Amino acid sequence: MRNKNNYPLEKSDEDWKSELSDEEYRILRQKGTEYPFTGKFNDHYQEGTYLCKGCDEPLYTSESKFDSHCGWPSYDKAIEGSLEEVPDHSSGMIRTEIVCANCGGHQGHVFNDGPTSTGLRYCVNSASISFKKKKE
């Protein structure tokens, strides 16, 4: 994971607002979150790739997705180099925020409580991602 402040894809706030829905903008650009169990990808298990909703960069493969019962889409690993980890001390907690390494879009947080061999749980907002089905 990278840790930097400038992103290859930078847009004005007006551009982001015109390209994203209000909910996508609130989550991707203002670091919001959706209510648990409401996102369209929480119970989604087709084969393919999950992309950043802000810039279409691949972030996760369907092979890394699992049901964590937390209410948000969860993955045990990200595509190498696709995310930046940022210390997050908001809300009176110490967490690690994950953002798209290409556009800086907020994805969610990563935790060290995953049930697979990676020990990680990337907890992601459905509004932060889109899905590209695997070609057969």
> Helix or strand or coil: residue 48?
strand
Partners of 94 in the beta sheet?
A: none
Q: Where is 74: in which H helix or E strand?
A: strand 74-75
Residue tagged active-site, from 52, 100, 103, 123: 123
In contact, 100 and 107? CB cutoff 8 Å: yes
Check if 103 is active-site: no
Query: For residues 32 and 79, what is the distance between their CA atoms, to the nearest angstrom?
Result: 23
- Which residues participate in catalysis according to the annotation? 123
